[in-house]
Structure 1
């Protein structure tokens, strides 16, 4: 990045240029497909199938059905539709400070946004759980079991909602809260929440729009930080998926997809999964693998953490990194 005087800066902020600005391999794939054919997704094309296969290969086996859309907001909106169709429930549990997108359905479940509209802005079908923040939150690092304590808060919300005759359709959370303050949930929290939500007839939606595609280094998806025994019911993704190209995806189980298809309301998206978008998505996945960007995230991340830890020793103002 350059300022108006030509001063050069390292770009540490861009949340969409996942494999670097204007990566030549991605541009080549996009140009080649654009020159050949681009059409809407009513027409079958190999790119869509190949990309779905490559993408689902990075996920747990039961997450096997892809819906391609055009933005993270569109992905999360579709995830809500899938969840609500599954058992016919309507209510959604979200986290404090959460942000899931700019369309009306998502503003309704984003305290980061609707709290700005005043104290009466929360809809009746929305329930807000405490953010599982073990640094600043209700239960902290000195608590003997913060993951269970935060999950119990969700359980209480479910029980209260049921007393009032309401039914939970979904719990939605970013796998690591971004707008909520870069909050990493304690291990075990998602497993326990999923257990309570599923028992109530709801599904667990993991929002990977900002944190997916190897950004956490150790794993390809941030929800995998919770352990191998945790698998969401629906995963949404966006931003880094196309290196800035407008595309996104919802991945779910066959069971949920079939219940959605049985609704009689046919789902169609004109541009979602078009040949050019899928060519770009494939190219991004290939670059991540060929250039070992997941390993790079680990190496550079650890180096940064080490240097910041040194600053923590020097400055009492720094509480946590």
Structure 2
């Protein structure tokens, strides 16, 4: 029997919950069941019927206000007027594909490259655009294979990189019903809390070397390693430990694909890009919908030499990847991040939130570890602090209790016991007491 997906099924509405719903909510769930495919999932035992968003807040059909602690897609805040105005203005003028000349895609790419860390040469990277993060990672894998001539890929044991046939084959977080690719090696995540390993960088680098050696012994040529630098689906694992591992990838002739859909665009506060916290040099950087605040846009930046192995041979065309409307949204996001100082804001407010959440451990024995970088925080729940036994059921119950207190989030990690606290970047100092009190009260109710 297939195991459930940690990112899709752990916090989902199921048919047995229908009897507890009010009539209107039940009717909506029945309509979904009737007209939409069975793969779709709803959050919560009592699904939330959202009708409006503004900044870090959401409102349901009954007028109840929620604090969004999960949505990185609306990266600069729900319904940000700068994005609304940019999209509206460009839509009134033109929206077409990239086989015609247009300045938007060029202006945006030039500005995007200025966000790369100083230790990289921005001019060495070229861009390509799509509509979803899955497409970006799919193309990145194709480029890596073309450059190396290999097929062997490395990902982590609870990674999520997309929904296409190629990207789902390196996304074990989708559950065992989704087959892993024949030439995909899955490694345990660099989790110093669970492993107890102090030098997690050296430990993980050796895992990389061992996997490459095993590939070679089986006649598989190594193509590359893909990871998001905060290992969000693996349980949110911030740090500065990846350099030795990426050096091992490059020494073996492989490509490092930095999946920045979740840690990129100022979220970690310390750097604009998550990989830069580790001081590593990606061969390909992929990005997704947070770059457009939810407008369907994605892309990649790749070292010219790496990209040429694919782009000089194979024509590539995503009909509406990089269209002027999406580029207008993406430009607005970059401008807002800079003008509103959201990177520094994420660093400052994230540190305050992390400190506030960590203080809950003094009152609640089930808080095992609280870790984070900027506005990306993992709140790990355990049955016993000494054994660190994961408290999955408690985490899932916490989600429902938090929802009743107006705080929306979900879980991550292989055991489904890590609350993934990742609000839109406008999340403020004034929101911290709401989130902290909701966590405190929820834990008190469930563990008394």
- 1:198-277 equivalent positions in 2, closer than 5 A: 198-227=250-279, 230-263=280-313, 265-277=314-326
Structure 1 residue runs of 4 or more that deviate by more than 3 Å after TM superposition: none
Whether the 8 Å contact between 1:175 and 1:222 is mirrored in structure 2 is yes
Q: Deviations over 1:197-222 (max 9, x none)?
A: 22222100010111210011111011
Query: Which of the two has greater strand per residue?
Result: 2
CA 1:213–1:10 in 2, change beyond 3 Å: closer, same or farther?
same
| TM-score, structure 2 normalization | 0.67
Please say if 1:124 is aligned against 2:182: yes
Matches within 5 A, 1:68-217: 68-117=129-178, 121-136=179-194, 138=195, 140=196, 143-184=197-238, 186-188=239-241, 190-217=242-269
- Are 1:61 and 2:118 matched, yes or no? no
State the distance in 1 between where 2:180 and 2:348 align: 42
In 1, distance between residues paired with 2:263 and 2:362? 28
User: Cα–Cα, structure 1 residues 9 and 123, in superposed 2: closer, same or farther, change >3 Å?
Assistant: closer
| CA displacement at 1:181 relative to structure 2 | 1.4
Q: How many residues are matched?
A: 309
Report the 3-state secondary structure (helix = DSSP H, G, I; strand = E; otherwise coil) of the residue aligned with 1:245: coil
Distance in 2 (alpha carbons) for counterparts of 1:257 and 1:83:
8
Deviation at 1:126, TM superposition (A): 0.6
Q: Structure 1 residue 4: deviation in Å? A: 4.4
Residue ranges of structure 2 left out of the alignment (5+ in a row): 1-57, 371-448
Work out the CA distance in 1 between the residues paired with 2:337 and 2:245. Answer: 31
- Distance (whole Å) between structure 1 residues aligned to residue 63 and residue 332 of structure 2: 32
Structure 1 unmatched ranges of 5 or more = none
54-63 or 3-12: bigger deviation: 3-12
Question: Is the contact made by 2:265 and 2:291 (CA closer than 8 Å) also made in structure 1?
Answer: yes
Is the contact between residue 201 and residue 243 of structure 2 (CA under 8 Å) also seen in structure 1?
A: no
Instruction: Give the whole-Å Cα distance in 2 for the aligned partners of 1:43 and 1:191.
Output: 41
Distance (Å, rounded) in 2 between the aligned partners of 1:256 and 1:86 = 6
- The whole-number CA distance in structure 2 between the counterparts of 1:66 and 1:312 is 44
Displacement, 1:3?
A: 3.7
Q: Which has the higher contact order (CA 8 A, sep 6+)?
A: 1
Aligned counterparts of 1:191 and 1:307: Cα–Cα separation in 2? 30
SS where residue 316 of structure 2 aligns?
coil
Residues 68-116 of structure 1 deviation map (CA, whole Å, 9 limit, x = unaligned) = 1100000000000110000211111111100100111011111112534
Is contact 1:107–1:114 with CA below 8 Å preserved after alignment?
Answer: no
TM-score, L = length of structure 1: 0.92
8 A contact 1:71–1:248 mirrored in 2: yes
1:239-295 Cα offsets, whole Å, 9 max, x none, are: 2110110000111101012211232x2112211111111111101100111111112
RMSD of aligned residue pairs (Cα, Å): 1.5
What is the distance in 1 between the residues matched to 2:192 and 2:219?
32
